[in-house]
Chains A and B, each alone.
Chain A
Amino acid sequence: DIQLTQSPSSLSASVGDRVTITCRASQTISPYLNWYQQQPGKVPKVVIYAASSLASGVPSRFSGRGSGTDFTLTISSLQPEDFGTYFCEHSYSTPYAFGQGTKLEIK
């Protein structure tokens, strides 16, 4: 089964900062990699799918890139509503799996 490892596990940043989160797969999965945001007490929502496609309604400050086994999620200018936990997920073959999450906190 394919495992996903996110880094860092937690990240402290300020409003306006540019932040990047990494997700590494145990084997090639390109481009079947999604990113979800979960704010505290809320339901997860997709922000990026198929590695680089912006989900409907998601601001353009979010972007995703990567191929093979290495993928990144970048937020170009952090806004207060962007804080929360981000999870990557692969959909290369079942069983799909999530990364362990990256908690993005306010500095």
Chain B
Amino acid sequence: EVQLVQSGAEVKKPGESLKISCKVSGYSFTSYWIGWVRQMPGKGLEWMGIIYPGDSDPRYSPSFHGQITFSADKSVSTAYLQWSSLKASDSAMYYCARQYCGGGSCHFDYWGQGTLVTVSS
């Protein structure tokens, strides 16, 4: 059974750093892209980017490039999303999702449960 299990909710202060995780099981971690999606309170889904755990190749949305970093650790089948200096506007739910690609088309077929990040002084 494919599962993506994300780390728990975080409460941080502006300027702090943070790394959240997405541990996968039930499939080959290095064979599928992992995506990250932001959902601010009461708002829509925002595509942040994807990472290929096989070689840690990241693709960032321009909206997030330079603000976040993706990484992956093959030894523990876990993808990470990190910030070096959080802002209040980073407060949101963050989802990881497995990207399935077939016939040239890709979509997110399995999702983590989400990690709620709250940034407040």
- List residues of chain A with CB under 8 Å of any chain B CB: 1, 31-32, 34, 36, 38, 43-46, 49-50, 55, 85, 87, 89, 91, 94-101
Contact = CB atoms under 8 A, between A and B. Distances in A.
The contact size tier of chain B is: 20 to 34
19 contacts: A1-B62, A34-B108, A36-B45, A36-B108, A43-B111, A43-B112, A44-B45, A44-B108, A46-B107, A89-B47, A89-B107, A89-B108, A94-B50, A95-B60, A96-B50, A98-B45, A98-B46, A99-B44, A101-B44
A1 B63 CA distance: 11
Contacts of A36: 45, 108
Contacts of B109: 46, 55
Interface in B36-60: 37, 44-47, 49-50, 59-60
B95 interface: yes
B106 to A, nearest CB: 4
B30 interface: no
B62 A49 contact: no
Nearest to A45: B111
Given A32-B105, A43-B95, A49-B105, A87 B60 contact: no
B107 A49 contact: yes
Nearest to B112: A43
A32 B104 contact: yes
A95 B59 CA distance: 7
